[in-house]
Chains A and B, each alone.
Chain A
Amino acid sequence: MPLAWVLARAEFPGRRLVRALVTVPLVLPPVVGGVALLLVFGRRGLVGGWLDATFGVSLPFSTAGVVVAEAFVAMPFLVISVEGALRGADARYEEAAATLGATRWTAFRRVTLPLIAPGVAAGGVLCWARALGEFGATITFAGNFPGRTQTMPLAVYLALEQDLDAAIVLSLLLLVVSVAILAALRDRWVTS
């Protein structure tokens, strides 16, 4: 959200670069994203080594790792739709709020956020839906340990090799959930 606000409202050198970086996970093959995450957060990675040494925290192949991997892949959906909503919202409402004595934070919380709520909701759901189907980055970065880092798509992939019926059931379940979410979302788009 703050990232979207910065992208929509602030003018600074390198904004195009930041936006490009934000959208990269959209076009990057998820497996490559997972490799990149491993390089950065892995035990010998740029940040991972420091995390391990300082806090004794290790992200790869843990439940937290799943969250990081899925957030990495799905976040652009949220950022882009919130940024779009922010651009669509008239910045002058924030000015009007300021002349009434509202600080930037109050203006954002009480004026801008309610105005862009449909965009935030749509972005959130899209983001969640993308995370639901995430496969490549998760299996690369977090592995596939049942009960710890196994997600539904990973389970489907495993089941496919061992138990075809279970794979079909899981797949159908995912399909139903996804369709339900997107159908609800389309409705929001049309009505808002």
Chain B
Amino acid sequence: MSLDARLIVRRPGFTLDIALGAAPGEVVALLGPNGAGKTTALRALAGLIPLDDGHVTLDGARLEKAPPELRRIGVVFQDYLLFPHLTALDNVAFGPRCRRVPRREAREQARDWLTRVGLADAVRKKPRHLSGGQAQRVALARALAAEPRLLLLDEPLAALDARTRLETRAGLRGHLASFPGATILVTHDPLDALMLADRLVIVEDGRIVQTGDAATITARPRTDYVARLVGLNLYRGRADGTTVLLPGDFALVTADPQEGDVFVAFAPAAVALYAVRPEGSPRNTWPATVTAVARHGDALRVELAGPIAVAADVTPAAAVQLGLQPGRAVWASLKATEATAYPAG
């Protein structure tokens, strides 16, 4: 049950143009900032908005002209859209009933699905009496009970509070693993994408800017948006061996030799700060001015201006010792081994 699609949707001032593929059993995450066109892509796949161009091919069958009810593409909507006048059981039984399964049997199937998502005791509840996490699971069960060939999830965890989110995410991961078809997941939360998906597709402004597995994306971001998501400093420059010349004639020394147009990435924790110019091993040092200090997990994240804008993580103790506050002049240093360069072409 593999998906192959090229989605082109034109709107005034915005064009979505992405190619998507997914193998049976694979979970692909569409990750991108708000307004990037992720949800538009999902609605186009489901047939809820027409394509201006392109195609949707599922198992070799062209679907772009088919109405949504004939596509057998299941959708879990962001706000779930459980039918408010039906019980959880009848919500889940809706899909089987539409396939002309007799009422009693459809209810049996629905009960099985609700048991699988751990809601055996909530079958008689109306959606307004369900908690957020329960509603999410009913929505998932409802989509799966219709036996879709492709499953689409639109920000499946966005409406949940942090705690419920953690539990629901773990459960969702299990259900996606046992779903035989391909799954496309839309999210703006990198954690959801990294935890749930086998492959990430980063969408910005209607276009795909990067694809790859979690390890590649987190180690080698290709746009500022991705770098910020995974928490890395990212620069683009020209490499000549292990020296990379960045805009502003600032040279960074990196570990691996490269030639030509490259990206350089390093973690904020790899940047060390000193009150006076350090001597010795670190190969990259430069003067910088603190512009902002904020809490970041156990550390403090320090934003620095200078020849390059950099984020650095320091321990609270070091921050106190250095007297870090906006306007403070410091020396920043970075070991060459901590900076990765990779081709930008």
- Does any Cβ of B come within 8 Å of A93's Cβ? yes
Q: Which residues of B contact A95 (CB under 8 A)?
A: 46, 48, 68, 81
Q: Does A16 contact B (CB under 8 A)?
A: no
Q: Does B74 contact A (CB under 8 A)?
A: yes
**Chain B residue at minimum C-beta to C-beta distance from A99:** B75
For B42-76 the 0/1 string (1 means CB < 8 A from A) is 00001110000000000000000001111111110
Residues of chain B within 8 A (CB-CB) of A92 are: 77, 81
- Residue of B whose beta carbon sits closest to that of A90: B81
**In the complex, A106→B94 CA distance in Å?**
10
Name which residue of chain B comes closest to A92, CB basis: B81
Majority-rule SS of A interface residues: helix
Q: Judging by beta carbons under 8 Å apart, are B142 and A100 in contact?
A: yes
Given A92-B77, A92-B81, A115-B85, A100 and B48 touching (CB < 8 A)? no
- A-B interface pairs (CB < 8 A), number: 59
CB distance from A116 to the nearest CB of B (A): 10
A111 near B83 with CB under 8 A, answer: yes
User: Bound complex: CA of A98 vs CA of B142, how far in Å?
Assistant: 13
Given A93-B83, A98-B68, A101-B72: A106 touches B98 (CB 8 Å cut-off): yes
**B77 — which chain A residues lie within 8 A by C-beta?**
92, 96
Contact residues of B between 78 and 109, Cβ < 8 Å to A = 81, 83-85, 94-95, 98-99
- The answer to whether B146 has its CB under 8 Å from any CB of chain A is yes
| Option from B73, B84, B99 in Cβ contact (under 8 Å) with A99 | B73
A101 engages B48 (CB within 8 Å): no
Q: Is A99 a contact partner of B85 (Cβ separation < 8 A)?
A: no
Interface flag for A35 (CB, 8 Å):
no
A124 to chain B, nearest CB (A): 19
Q: Is A26 an interface residue (CB 8 A)?
A: no
A114 lies within 8 A of chain B by Cβ: yes
Known A-B contacts A99-B68, A99-B75, A100-B94; the reply to A93 vs B146 at CB < 8 A is no
Q: Is the interface of B mostly helix, strand, loop or mixed?
A: mixed
Does chain B have a CB within 8 A of A110? yes
Within 8 A of A (CB), among B114-131: none
Give chain B nearest CB distance to A129 CB in angstroms. 26
Residues of B near A110 (CB, < 8 A) are 94
Chain A residues whose CB sits within 8 angstroms of the CB of B68 once the complex forms: 95, 98-99
**Smallest distance from the beta carbon of B13 to chain A beta carbons, Å?**
21
Give, as a whole number of angstroms, the nearest-CB distance from B93 to chain A: 10
* A101 lies within 8 A of B84 (CB): no
**Distance of B92 from chain A, by nearest CB (Å):** 10
Is A170 an interface position by the 8 A CB rule?
no
A156 to chain B, nearest CB (A): 42
Chain A residue at minimum C-beta to C-beta distance from B146: A100
Q: Is the CB of A101 within 8 A of B81?
A: no
**CB-CB < 8 A to B98: which residues of A?**
97, 100-103, 106
Contact B94 A97 (CB under 8 A): yes
Docked CA distance A93–B72 (Å): 17
A95 to B67 alpha-carbon distance, docked (Å): 11
A93: chain B residues at CB < 8 Å are 81, 83
Instruction: For residue A65, give the distance in angstroms from its CB to the closest CB of chain B.
Output: 39
**Would you give the shortest CB distance from B63 to chain A, in whole angstroms?**
13
**C-alpha gap A93/B85 in the complex (Å):** 11
Interface string of B11-37 (1 = CB under 8 A from A): 000000000000000000000000000
Tell me the bound Cα distance from A90 to B80 in angstroms.
13
CA A102 – CA B99 in complex, angstroms?
A: 8
For the complex, give the distance between the alpha carbons of A154 and B46 in Å: 58
Residues on the A chain within 8 Å of B48, using CB: 95, 98-99
| Chain A residues in 8 Å Cβ range of B73 | 99
Most buried by B among A90, A95, A103: A95
A114 contacts B85, C-beta separation under 8 Å: yes
Given A95-B48, A95-B68, also A100-B81 (CB < 8 A): no
In the complex, per-residue mask of B126-162: 1 if CB is within 8 Å of any chain A CB, else 0: 0000000000000000110010000000000000000
Question: 14 additional contacts, CB 8 Å, given A96-B83, A98-B68, A114-B85?
Answer: A90-B81, A95-B48, A95-B68, A96-B81, A97-B94, A98-B69, A99-B146, A100-B95, A100-B143, A101-B69, A101-B98, A102-B98, A106-B98, A115-B83
Closest 10 CB pairs of A and B: A101-B98, A96-B81, A98-B68, A100-B95, A99-B75, A114-B85, A100-B146, A102-B98, A98-B69, A95-B48
Q: Which residues of A contact B (CB under 8 A)?
A: 90, 92-93, 95-104, 106, 110-111, 114-115
Query: Which B residues fall within an 8 A CB radius of A?
Result: 46-48, 67-75, 77, 81, 83-85, 94-95, 98-99, 142-143, 146
